[in-house]
């Protein structure tokens, strides 16, 4: 691309790379050491750095320090600007900026008016891309100071619904901050990579649901992970059930408790409201770790101090609506992918709100026991949900730092990424315990081709000649109704009455299980004279044109049978 000629960028050998997560509420930076990703703390000691910029007396503050200025200096504090990048003024939702500098229309794009030069100077107009540049520069500086080397390049994570215009705006803002963007990767994929890159992880074919529960938005993504390659099957985005809504519920609760003792409403005055919000968020975080937390604000309203404790059970009642919304969001995304909760192998919880134990426990209740819910409350091996995306970005950055910019562009080109995915599983027929035909999957549906899988299948106990039948397969959900009640049995002769309104057995849950259905026969192969107790190895290799090569032999034997089916 001609564009590349004008951006020389550092030589691959001179690069210092980091992974960067740039959120509306919080951002993080991570680097890799010995193939392990570590999240970097900034000079304030924060690993989750609030995405806030504030100007006081001409000095720039960012992160937690800037966030604290939301109380005394809201009009010169910029918050929640990531989602405004590359957007038209008309299409943005300024709700979350209400208590800080308001976004303004600057010839269609978004900007903020803040006194960034000094209290006596005129307020200047800071565009969203300027704000992003300034903030990214501070993040890169924090990483450079930690690493002792100037950071030149980064991989940044973005939501799956980020438009090309937003991506370009982000790349531009980073370039203005002297940061080369190697690649923009999707938030949920970064989270999955952070888990899959652990040394103890095994590459498996699995369906992963990534629940990215953030401050102002929640994104749920259904991912097919096949041989370590990821395909997004469905995404759902929501702006009504996120961390800030839990904060709001707590604010309501504390404000009402305050008003029981005093006459003033802390929500009626901006400064009181800002204090209430900051402390409610801090209390919420404490309730993710402990079962009790203290809420206390000095001079909350009318000069009265306010202090009370809240336990986790009370909080879970207060936030119930939000928790239920998150459940529906997760279920909706799975449905959108045309799947059932039984199809899901792993749920990766990421984003700050995923620390909430109730949300993980609710999801535990939705999914079958075989599904791993990867959150601190439900799994001992879970990684900190706030750090997943930055770690994934750092791992990806370390993988591609040696590549030329052209190589990265070519590898991520649609010609490479758009490939066929098989729509049915491929497997063999084996004999079940009662002599029936059973489908044993070798390659699951939604596997990107070309792909290759090998399985070992025990031959009949007595050995002898074996017929290997290669078939397609699908899954279906079998619902077993609970045992019919005697009352219904009496009406058994009246078939029209079977679905009568007599439905008192609600406590008997119907049993749902996933079963394989044998589909079209693809090919047969014979393996002769298999030893007693021997195993048969079947390898299936699907090429990009969907032609299939089947190789099958007895384990340990030479040769074997090999055949090819034509492609499309």
Partner 1 sequence: PLLPSGWTAEKDFKPSGQGRLSAASERSLEPVGPHFLAHARRARHKRTFSEDDRI
Which residue, 213 or 449, has its beta carbon nearer to partner 1?
449
Give the span between the Cα atoms of 47 and 39, in whole angstroms.
7
Only one of the segments 26-34, 107-115, 162-170, 537-545 lies at the binding site for partner 1 (rule: CB under 8 A); that segment is: 537-545
Q: Which of residues 286-305 bind partner 1 (CB under 8 A)?
A: none
Distance in Å, CB of 353 to partner 1, minimum? 24
Interhelix angle 388-400/187-196, rounded to 10 degrees, is: 80
546 sits near partner 1 (criterion: CB under 8 A): yes
Per the CB < 8 A criterion, the answer to whether 545 and 551 are in contact is no
Per the CB < 8 A criterion, the answer to whether 242 and 212 are in contact is no
Give the span between the Cα atoms of 189 and 195, in whole angstroms.
10
Distance of alpha carbon 127 from the chain centroid: 29
Q: Which of 201, 313, 467, 477 binds partner 1 (CB under 8 A)?
A: 467
Only one of the segments 53-61, 261-269, 366-374, 521-529 lies at the binding site for partner 1 (rule: CB under 8 A); that segment is: 521-529
Per the CB < 8 A criterion, the answer to whether 19 and 30 are in contact is yes
Only one of the segments 65-73, 134-142, 207-215, 463-471 lies at the binding site for partner 1 (rule: CB under 8 A); that segment is: 463-471
**Which DSSP string corresponds to 314-344?**
HHHHHTHHHHHHHHHHHHHHHHHTT--GGG-
Distance in Å, CB of 436 to partner 1, minimum? 10
Which residue, 504 or 568, has its beta carbon nearer to partner 1?
568
Distance in Å, CB of 370 to partner 1, minimum? 24
Q: Which of 262, 336, 364, 421 binds partner 1 (CB under 8 A)?
A: 421
Q: Which of residues 6-25 bind partner 1 (CB under 8 A)?
A: none
Question: For the CA atoms of the chain, what is the radius of gyration?
Answer: 28
| Pairing, β 59-62 against β 425-431 | unpaired
Q: Which of 145, 150, 450, 518 binds partner 1 (CB under 8 A)?
A: 450
311 sits near partner 1 (criterion: CB under 8 A): no
150 sits near partner 1 (criterion: CB under 8 A): no
Distance in Å, CB of 416 to partner 1, minimum? 5
Closest CA to 151 of 287, 30, 24: 30
What are the structure tokens assigned to 36, written together?
A: 């392990």
Q: Which of residues 358-387 bind partner 1 (CB under 8 A)?
A: none
141 sits near partner 1 (criterion: CB under 8 A): no
Q: Which of 296, 423, 454, 500 binds partner 1 (CB under 8 A)?
A: 423
Distance in Å, CB of 420 to partner 1, minimum? 4
Which residue, 313 or 544, has its beta carbon nearer to partner 1?
544
b/e code 376-415 from CB counts within 10 Å (16+ = b): bbbbeebbbbbbbbbbbbbbbbbbbbebebeebeeeeeee
Number of shown-chain residues binding partner 1 (CB under 8 A): 75
Only one of the segments 127-135, 258-266, 360-368, 555-563 lies at the binding site for partner 1 (rule: CB under 8 A); that segment is: 555-563
**β-pair partners for 564:** 549
Q: Which of residues 500-519 bind partner 1 (CB under 8 A)?
A: 519
441 sits near partner 1 (criterion: CB under 8 A): no
437 sits near partner 1 (criterion: CB under 8 A): yes
Q: Which of residues 223-262 bind partner 1 (CB under 8 A)?
A: 223, 227-233
Query: Cα separations (Å) of 158 from 60, 148, 183, 191?
Result: 26, 27, 10, 12
**Which DSSP string corresponds to 51-116?**
-EEEEETTEEEEHHHHHHTTTT-GGGEEES-GGGTT--GGG--GGGGTTSPPEEEETTEEEEEE--
49 sits near partner 1 (criterion: CB under 8 A): no
Q: Which of residues 174-203 bind partner 1 (CB under 8 A)?
A: 183, 185-186, 189-190, 193, 196-197, 203
One character per residue 386-415, x = contact with partner 1 (rule: CB under 8 A) = ------x---x--xx---------xxx-x-
Count of Cβ atoms closer than 10 Å to residue 431 Cβ: 11
Which residue, 64 or 522, has its beta carbon nearer to partner 1?
522
Which residue, 225 or 362, has its beta carbon nearer to partner 1?
225
Distance in Å, CB of 202 to partner 1, minimum? 12
Give the span between the Cα atoms of 409 and 183, in whole angstroms.
9
Give the span between the Cα atoms of 467 and 156, in whole angstroms.
52
Q: Which of 99, 278, 518, 523 binds partner 1 (CB under 8 A)?
A: 523
Which residue, 434 or 501, has its beta carbon nearer to partner 1?
434
Per the CB < 8 A criterion, the answer to whether 193 and 209 are in contact is no
Q: Which of 96, 279, 542, 554 binds partner 1 (CB under 8 A)?
A: 542
Query: Cα separations (Å) of 33 from 16, 19, 190, 324, 397?
Result: 12, 12, 17, 40, 12
């Amino acid at each position: 691309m001609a564009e590349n000629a004008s951006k020389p960028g550092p030589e691959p050998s001179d690069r210092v790379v980091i992974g960067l997560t740039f959120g509306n509420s919080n951002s993080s930076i991570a680097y890799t050491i010995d193939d392990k990703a570590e999240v970097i703390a900034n000079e304030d000691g924060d690993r989750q750095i609030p995405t806030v910029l504030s100007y006081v007396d001409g000095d720039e503050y960012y992160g937690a320090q800037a966030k604290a200025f939301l109380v005394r200096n809201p009009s010169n504090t910029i918050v929640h600007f990531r989602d405004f990048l590359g957007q038209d003024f008309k299409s943005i939702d300024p709700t979350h900026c209400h208590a800080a500098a308001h976004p303004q229309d600057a010839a269609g794009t978004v900007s903020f008016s803040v006194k960034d030069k000094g209290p006596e100077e005129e307020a200047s107009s800071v565009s969203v891309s300027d704000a992003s540049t300034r903030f990214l520069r501070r993040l890169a500086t924090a990483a450079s100071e930690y690493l002792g080397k100037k950071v030149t390049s980064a991989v940044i994570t973005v939501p799956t619904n980020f438009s090309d215009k937003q991506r370009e705006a982000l790349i531009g803002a980073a370039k203005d901050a002297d940061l080369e963007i190697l690649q923009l990767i999707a938030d949920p994929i970064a989270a999955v990579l952070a888990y899959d890159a652990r040394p103890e992880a095994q590459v498996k074919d699995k369906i992963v649901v990534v629940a990215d529960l953030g401050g102002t938005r929640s994104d749920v993504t259904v991912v097919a992970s096949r041989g370590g390659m990821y395909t997004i099957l469905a995404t759902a985005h929501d702006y009504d059930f996120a961390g800030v809504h839990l904060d709001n519920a707590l604010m309501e609760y504390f404000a009402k408790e305050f008003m029981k003792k005093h006459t003033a409403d802390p929500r009626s005055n901006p400064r009181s409201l800002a204090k209430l919000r900051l402390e409610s968020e801090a209390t919420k975080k404490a309730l993710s770790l402990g079962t009790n937390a203290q809420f206390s604000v000095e001079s909350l309203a009318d000069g009265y101090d306010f202090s009370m404790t809240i336990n986790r059970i009370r909080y879970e009642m207060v936030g119930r609506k939000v928790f239920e919304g998150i459940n529906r969001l997760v279920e909706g995304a799975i449905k959108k992918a045309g799947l059932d909760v039984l199809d899901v192998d792993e749920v990766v919880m990421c984003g700050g709100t995923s620390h909430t134990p109730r949300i993980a426990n609710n999801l535990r209740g939705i999914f079958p026991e075989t599904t791993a819910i990867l959150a601190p409350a439900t799994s001992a091996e879970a990684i900190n949900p706030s750090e997943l995306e930055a770690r994934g970005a750092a791992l990806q950055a370390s993988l591609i730092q040696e590549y030329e910019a052209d190589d990265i562009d070519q590898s991520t080109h649609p010609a490479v990424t758009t490939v066929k995915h098989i729509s049915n599983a491929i497997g063999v027929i084996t004999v079940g315990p009662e002599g029936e035909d059973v489908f044993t999957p070798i390659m699951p549906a939604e596997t990107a081709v070309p792909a290759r899988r090998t399985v070992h299948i025990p031959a009949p106990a007595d050995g002898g000649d074996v017929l290997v039948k290669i078939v397609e397969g699908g899954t279906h959900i079998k619902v077993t109704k609970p045992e019919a009640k005697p009352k219904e049995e009496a009406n058994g002769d009246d078939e029209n009455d079977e679905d009568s309104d007599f439905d008192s057995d609600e406590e008997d849950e119907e049993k749902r299980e996933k079963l394989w259905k044998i589909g079209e026969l693809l090919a047969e192969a014979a393996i002769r004279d298999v030893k007693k107790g021997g195993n048969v190895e079947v390898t299936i290799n699907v090429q990009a044109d969907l032609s299939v090569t089947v190789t099958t032999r007895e384990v340990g034997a030479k040769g074997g049978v090999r055949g090819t089916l034509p492609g499309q």
